[in-house]
Amino acid sequence: MLVRMIRRFGIPLTTALIASLALAGCGGGGKQDTDGTKVPDAQKTADGTKLTQISPMTGLKVQGGLPNHPVMVVKIDNTFNSEPQVGLKSADMVVEELVEGGITRLATMFYSQLPSVVGPVRSARASDIGVIKPANAVLVASGAATRTQNRLREAGIAMHFEGSVGMYRDGSRHAPYNLFMRLPRFVTALHDSARPTQNYLPWGSESDFTGVSPATNIAVKFSTTSTTRFRYSPGAHKYVNTNSHASSSDHFLADSVLVLRVREGNAGYHDPAGNPVPEAKFFGSGSALLFHNGQVVRGSWSKPKPTSALTLRTTAGTLKVPAGHVWIELMPAAGPLNGAGSVTYN
């Protein structure tokens, strides 16, 4: 099957690009999950040169084939204490989760690029299971509560905490917001070539997206104390996180923002400050909003199991995400520990 056409930074598809995508999609090789979402093996020319592949994490073409290492999911602090966050601009995808105390944390996914340094690295939550498993990813975090470690281990997630190769404390910052990871060094020492076996999102092209309302400003409210804001830049065709804790040169520039309403449960323990810890149940189904190109479309999402890829639909049928870099918001439904989040846009 021909690989779906993609857009990178608004550049039109040329004849040569179409040809390379067609070649990358030919042949019967590749891995396929139970839902039929296929990640093709790299094709080679007669002299052994690899042609392009399509990244399961962005839907964009990858020259020379996919990286020979797993997706890295690094947990990053998302409060003013983290300023400046480091490495966000190199991420393929960012997933924002509610944690205790009404604040959020970022599950930042690195695959096509590895920043030299990323952080501040913070602890993992059970919410990460549904985020990590579909990518067959490796988790990098400062640590986790014993209960959470057991949950992650039972889910078959490879965990790497403080003390791992590449982790260090930055003496110019105060703990616990001073733990950083030299990601290339860590990946080299990992000796793990596991890759994603399915597309993380239902990737499509620009022509697949038909927005119905203007949406150049977005505000996603997680709690009374935490709201994440985006502004669409028509010149760059990107959504910019206007209250980011990264420096302006290190922002994650999103082609799309995907807001998913998810169930919130009680993780069953408290943090050291006595706050009960919520757990995002990133499986099941709920409402969805996809923001792209300054517009929005409403739909629904479904994900039968934590390991499953995400499916998106509208009343008209399948909703595809234009290939690119996506910021996913796991916006909470009302739960035992929290009120319902909300999203506004104009």
What is residue 193's predicted lDDT score, i.e. its pLDDT? 86
Query: In this structure, is the dihedral angle defined by the CA atoms of residues 292, 294, 295 and 296, taken in order, positive or negative?
Result: positive
Q: What gap in Å lies between CA 224 and CA 61, rounded to an integer?
A: 40
Predicted TM-score (pTM) of this structure:
0.85
What is residue 9's predicted lDDT score, i.e. its pLDDT? 31
- C-alpha distances (whole Å) from 191 to each of 18, 42, 138, 185 are 34, 20, 12, 11
Q: Please name the residue ranges forming H helices in the chain.
A: 15-25, 128-132, 146-154, 183-190
What is residue 64's predicted lDDT score, i.e. its pLDDT? 85
What is residue 14's predicted lDDT score, i.e. its pLDDT? 36
Instruction: Go through the domains of the chain in sequence order and give each one's CATH number.
Output: 15-62 (no CATH), 69-346 (3.50.90.10)
| Tokens 């739909």 -> residue | 299
Dihedral angle over CA of 39, 331, 138, 238, nearest 10: 60
| Tokens 């990590």 -> residue | 132
Rg for the chain, CA atoms, rounded = 19
How far is C-alpha 154 from the geometric centre of its chain's CA atoms?
22
What is residue 336's predicted lDDT score, i.e. its pLDDT? 84
Tens digits of pLDDT across the chain (346 residues)? 333 333 333 333 333 333 333 333 333 344 443 333 555 444 444 444 455 799 999 999 998 889 999 999 999 999 999 999 999 999 999 999 999 999 999 999 999 999 999 999 999 999 999 999 999 999 999 999 999 999 999 999 999 999 999 999 999 999 999 999 999 999 999 998 888 989 999 999 999 999 889 999 999 999 999 999 999 999 999 999 999 999 999 999 999 999 999 999 999 999 888 889 999 999 999 999 999 999 999 999 999 999 999 999 999 999 999 999 999 999 999 888 888 999 999 9
What is residue 8's predicted lDDT score, i.e. its pLDDT? 33
